[in-house]
Amino acid sequence: MELFTRAMIFFLILFISYFFYLSKAIDCGGKDVSYTITVGSSGKVTFKTIQAAIDSVKNNNNQWVKIHIKAGSYIEKVHIPIEKPCIILEGEGSQNTIISFSDNKGTSSSATFVSSPPNVVMSDITFQNTYNVNNKTQKVSPAVAALIQGDKSFIFRCSFIGYQDTLFDAYGRHYYKDCYIQGEVDFIFGRAQSYYENCLLNATGRNLPGFVTAQGRDSPDSPSGFVFEGGSLVGNDKVNLGRAWRAYSRVIFHNTNFSSVVTPQGWNSFGRAGQESKITYAEVDCKGPGADTSKRVPWLKKLTPSQLEEFSLASFINKDNWLDNLPVISK
């Protein structure tokens, strides 16, 4: 038993050290791309599936590798494993490069796309789980379009389409810029520390009002939270801005345009009556017919200018300047 315990401790330390190495040490060698792999169904391509291209990248990769995905519809599940950091997935426009699958076997296993390592860039791609989208008569259940759980992930001009649990924003620091996110029930959820800039959120309601966010910050010391800077929330039915998936849930909307889809109360403590002081939900300088806070929940936070500064891009996710070391993404 003692030898077994020592062995288990050794492997646990080894695993933690390996994870720490992947998360913190790798900087991908600067901004240059070492080589490019092309994926497509025809023409001059390296692989015909995205997963095959990812699998070809060496383990413990420490130089940026670009996987260029030609326009087309790719019906496959795609996973970037933790041992393959420093990958760029580049599509040819989110309207043209679409990765989709239909699965509803739980929030983790149903995901069409999973990104696990640190230092990943995604641009100009649609990630879609069609389970609740194409068949509107079936029972709604969790069906994740994308699961992002690696630190230092940059997602640019991408679309995420689903209905329940569309984007599993799980762990790590993430920067979403100029993205489109569609759903109705907890369609942005998780424990990540994420900044959403100029994103379009589309609430596609069918029955009762759903929730844009279900943020899972679970302690007062956790850096976790979702910050929405600018952008818009639209839709075809009513939706709440969020509910507290965990006790210290934290979501900030700043300068966001709210259409009339937002419910008057806006937020839900998710059965945490009497504990609302632990929750940080705030709306600052928001606009539009849905931005009237006069009937919001009474525990909605009011942030001072200095508190709001803590949720700026530089302060919230970029204190170590990791965003400054990313390759330039073509416009």
Whether the CB-CB separation of 177 and 156 falls below 8 Å is answered with yes
pLDDT, one tens digit per residue, over 122-181 is 999 999 999 988 666 668 899 999 999 999 999 999 999 999 999 999 999 999 999 999
pLDDT, one tens digit per residue, over 20-64 is 444 444 689 999 999 999 999 999 999 999 999 999 999 999 999
pLDDT at 13 > cutoff 50:
no
Q: How far apart are CA 302 and CA 286, in angstroms?
A: 13
pLDDT, one tens digit per residue, over 50-106 is 999 999 999 999 999 999 999 999 999 999 999 999 999 999 999 999 999 999 988
Q: How far apart are CA 69 and CA 18, in angstroms?
A: 30
Q: Which helix (H) or strand (E) holds 155?
A: strand 153-156
> Does the active-site annotation cover 165?
yes
Instruction: List the domains of the chain with CATH numbers.
Output: 184-324 (2.160.20.10)
Q: For residue 213, give the nearest of 223, 199, 221 by alpha carbon.
A: 199
Tell me the CA distances in angstroms from 40 to 96, 160, 307, one per residue in order: 12, 21, 47
Burial of 196 (0-12, 13-18, 19+ CB in 10 A): buried
Give pLDDT, residue 206: 82
pLDDT, one tens digit per residue, over 203-220 is 998 878 999 999 999 999
> Does the active-site annotation cover 186?
yes
Give pLDDT, residue 205: 85
CA dihedral 132, 136, 139, 141 (to 10 degrees): 20
Find the largest Cα–Cα distance for the chain.
66
Whether the CB-CB separation of 172 and 151 falls below 8 Å is answered with yes
Whether the CB-CB separation of 244 and 279 falls below 8 Å is answered with yes
pLDDT, one tens digit per residue, over 249-269 is 999 999 999 999 999 999 999
Which residue is catalytic, options 165, 292, 320, 324?
A: 165
Which residue is catalytic, options 124, 151, 169, 186?
A: 186
